[in-house]
Amino acid sequence: MRVMGIDPGLRNLGWGVIDVAGARLTHIANGVCHSDGSQDLASRLLDLYGQLTRVVAQYQPTEAAVEQTFVNKDAVATLKLGHARAIALLVPAQAGLTVGEYAPNAVKKTVVGVGKAAKAQVDHMVRMQLPGVQIDSPDAADALAIAICHAHHMQSAGRLQLAIAGGAR
């Protein structure tokens, strides 16, 4: 299974790709799609769409995961983040991928063991689980954490299905 994690952002949309073979996780690539803040919203979204589409085409993930948006005090910023999140959901769905969605605290709990972990702790644990990884930016580290979270959830779901199938005999 090849998993792409996406950390939505209008200025910086992080992405990370890992391969999953049983309990083994292997880093494939990571990076950030950038948009120019001086452009209008539609142009920025189109730019992010094009960049993320090229990343999906290049790395051919079989699954994708996107971080859910948290609502902050700035409604306008939350709405803009929602637009970027729509691109993060649309591109993999358009490629025919199943897209998992995870709350930020669920990602942190899965990767670090604590739902309120700091960004530095997430980055550290991503590096521990993907030895030798060179991480492009904090947004890419978050995207890799989202991919790791999805991989763990898919493995757990697979074990549950096996247990259910075994119990049905």
- Annotated active-site residue in 19, 36, 63, 67: 67
Model confidence, pTM: 0.90
Number of domains in the chain: 1
Q: Using one digit for the tens of pLDDT, what is the confidence trace for 106-152?
A: 999 999 998 888 889 999 999 999 999 999 899 999 999 999 999 99
- The residue to which tokens 């299905």 are assigned: 161
Active site residue 67: yes
How many Å apart are CA 158 and CA 138, to the nearest integer? 30
How many Å apart are CA 68 and CA 81, to the nearest integer? 10
Q: Hey, what are 158's tokens?
A: 């697979």
| CATH number of the domain to which 80 belongs | 3.30.420.10
**pLDDT at residue number 169:** 47
Q: Using one digit for the tens of pLDDT, what is the confidence trace for 19-52?
A: 999 889 999 999 999 999 999 999 999 999 999 9
DSSP-based three-state secondary structure for 137 = coil
Active site residue 36: no
Q: Using one digit for the tens of pLDDT, what is the confidence trace for 56-107?
A: 999 999 999 999 977 677 888 888 889 999 999 999 999 999 999 999 999 9
**Closest by alpha carbon to 106, among 160, 141, 152, 158?**
152
